[in-house]
Amino acid sequence: MGDHDHRSDGDPTDDRERPDRVEQSALEDEADDAERGRAEIRDRQEREGEHAGHERGDDRDGHGAEHDHSGDNGHGDGHSGGMHAGHETMFRRRFFVSTLLSIPVLLYSETLQGWLGFTVPAFPGSEWISPVFAVIVFAYGGVPFLRMAVPELRERAPGMMTLISMAITVAFVYSLASLVFPTQTAFFWELVTLIDIMLLGHWIEMRSVRRASSALDELAKLMPDTAERITDDGETEEVPAIDLEEGDLVLVRPGASVPADGVLEEGESDVDESMITGESTPVSKEPGDEVIGGTVNGDGSLRVRIGATGEETTLAGIMRLVEEAQSSESKTQALADRAAGWLFYVALGAAVVTAVAWTVATGFDSAVIERVVTVLVIACPHALGLAIPLVVAINTSLAARNGMLVRDRIAMERARTLDTVVFDKTGTLTEGEQGLVDTATVDDVTTDEALALAATVEGDSEHMIARAIREAADDRGVSRGTAADFEALKGRGVRATVDGDEIYVGGPNLLSELEGDVPADLERFADRAGENAQTVVYLVREGEPVAAFALADVIREESYRVVDALHELGLEVAMLTGDSEDVARAVAADLGIDTVFAEVLPDDKDEKITELQEQDKSVAMVGDGVNDAPALARADIGIAIGSGTDVAVQSADIVLVQNNPMDVVRLVKLSRASYRKMRQNLVWAAGYNVFALPLAAGVLAPVGILLSPAVGALLMSLSTVIVAINAQFLRRVDLSVPNLPDVAAPREPRPAD
């Protein structure tokens, strides 16, 4: 994910670009001419810059992001997602067809008939059933592996494709030769079962890998398709947003999105910038303030002078960061492919030694060829093809049942190597909504009385501060009264009459207008709250301030447990926030967070991830906002809170669909358990070779022990069964949290000061 690929012992170190290109080659062979023609047209359009002028819902959304609906061959949801969807389709289809065609080969195999004690009717020409159907299976199910092995050989980096190709090619050629030259046995049934198992393994793997990578599409959707441009005569005209130019004046109605970056010339409103900044509180805008394209206007009418359009906007800059981070994503190779590379050389070496030794001992004859062929064929165990995909499939299923959507299996595997988990503060460690965190009163007014009055006045308001006050009153069981003559005072607060008293609730602007003196106790309270970046609103009765309320984003109850549990797993915890240093340090101290990045601008979040990676740390980023998307893509593992914006989810490798940051702990535990199973399966698969290859080569021939091809095939099947059963034990892993020693129990929700 980041510029650095951090691994612990036993991790594969090769780059995964080679297998992706290999598999893409096979996929392209599956695509029909029409699809290739469409792809060429799209590529040409991209080169010519023909990205504009399409309405939302068509192949493009009007902002340069394509939506390709290309069907089976899977280019429709991004390169990565479409490619793997096409691979899944290809391997699934070939598996079922090849398995069906393999049945006659198995039924007419003399070896299987002898083992299982059955016979099938013979008829003139029945001896050709096995070879004919085996040839068809090889051509349909086996040739794709040969094609995918070519780049591996060209780059002198043999892997699983090379090993599979060697085994099926040797078995195929030798078996065909056995029809002409006298040999003791043929490998037709071993050939078809090997191809079937490998197709099944790759189908399972591709189904687990498939993902839809549409982060840039989701970013583009934040921008409106049209804008209301104000003409010289003061009238408005609706124009495509992409036609706006610097200097245009546009009208932004209440609830509408700002079409491009600009400066507010007329009007006042609270603008929701959470999709850009990640912060939950709307930002008050007045003439002279800058506004960002893609943000949502509140309840005021605004006239904005456009200052930047297209690629110059803030949102476009974030899109470029996401694209850059995704393109620089480091990849890792599956453990099985690395093991296959080793095994390829071992098999070749064993075959050469076998040929030389037997030729010296007995002379060169058909028996020597059969011995060499046996070594090469059984060098590729079925178990190796299933060792990783079976674990991945179970891993993905377990993750889904525990609230984790795995969009990148490599990220899931890599989670076990994490050194540091970085959390975005707002909406991840905190609720992302304003909550009442403290109250101060004067004279004889009690906290409950003040809260009851404020909640009564705010009873008809939908502002987030009003909701926070009402929720606090409900939580404390405070009864609300009846308000009359309610009035919203724009930019200042609200007013109403309660039991004959005129009650105001609002911020400092309200006090300035009322020209009331603030009691010293309330002033000190407001100063403390301001130092902690809390919002302060006052309760004014009959012109006199009698109470003050401090509101802030509230820390999630689970956040305390998450930090403790991650520490127990040996991980460092860091926090990213745009808040001031003092506020960030206070939250970090409360939660026990190790590293704090405060006052971080949205464009700089991914740079902080890079800083950690440059310290040779493997980093996970957990976030939920548009501004988190570049950091999610840059991190070794991007983890999105499911309640976050679509773009954050699309930029991530893992999505916590239940919005519970505690699932980060489950992710690490599941990754570690899955890796143990992968290694165990690889030991079983490789152990088969450690035992079978020397016997097939004839190491114990002097004492009368010589592994026949039939027994080798039996051992091959046995190792496959063991691997399959061992993978199922992963379902028993305990993902309950906490089940770690000394992990703190849940605490009461605390404010994010």
CA gap 540, 495 in Å, rounded: 9
Please give the torsion angle defined by the CA atoms of residues 335, 340, 346 and 352, in that order, rounded to the nearest 10 degrees: -170
Q: Do you find a cis peptide bond into 738, omega within 30 degrees of 0?
A: yes
Q: Parallel, antiparallel, or unpaired: how do β-strands 420-424 and 404-406 relate? A: unpaired
The region that residue 222 occupies, defined by phi over 0 for left and psi between -120 and 50 for alpha, beta otherwise, is alpha
Q: Whole-angstrom Cα distance, residue 501 to residue 482?
A: 12
Residue type, 741: P
> d(Cα 461, Cα 108) in Å, to the nearest integer?
80
C-alpha dist (Å) from residue 605 to 379, 597, 624: 49, 9, 13
Non-local CB neighbours of 732 within 8 Å, separated by 6+ positions: none
Residue from 424, 553, 606, 636 carrying the catalytic annotation:
424
CA within 13 Å, CB half, 347: 30
In order of 65, 264, 268, the CA distances from 288 in angstroms are: 32, 5, 10
E strand spans, 325-446: 404-406, 420-424, 430-441
Exposure on the CB side of residue 728, measured as CA atoms within 13 A: 6
399-425 exposure pattern, b = at least 16 Cβ within 10 A, e = fewer? beebbbbbbbbbbbbbbbbbbbbbbbb
For residues 315 and 651, give the distance between their C-alpha atoms in angstroms, rounded to a whole number. 15
Contact 84, 211 (CB under 8 A): yes
Consecutive H or E run containing 272: strand 269-272
Distance CA 428, CA 482 (A): 37
To the nearest 10°, the Cα dihedral for 635, 409, 388, 82? -130
424 is a catalytic site residue = yes
Calculate ∠ Cα 341-344-350, nearest 5°: 145
Question: Pick from 403, 465, 452: which is nearest to 670 by CA?
Answer: 403
Q: What share of the chain is helix, strand, coil (3-state, %, to 5)?
A: 55, 15, 30
Cα 294 from Cα 524, distance rounded (Å): 38
Which positions ≥6 away from 41 have C-beta within 8 Å? Answer: none
- Looking up tokens 């002097």 gives 702
The span from the CA of 574 to the CA of 126, in Å, is: 70
Place of tokens 């004859």: 365
Half-sphere exposure of 411 (CA within 13 A, CB side): 32
Q: Residue 428 corresponds to which tokens in the numbers above?
A: 């991840």
Residue with tokens 């593992």: 637
Catalytic residues: 424
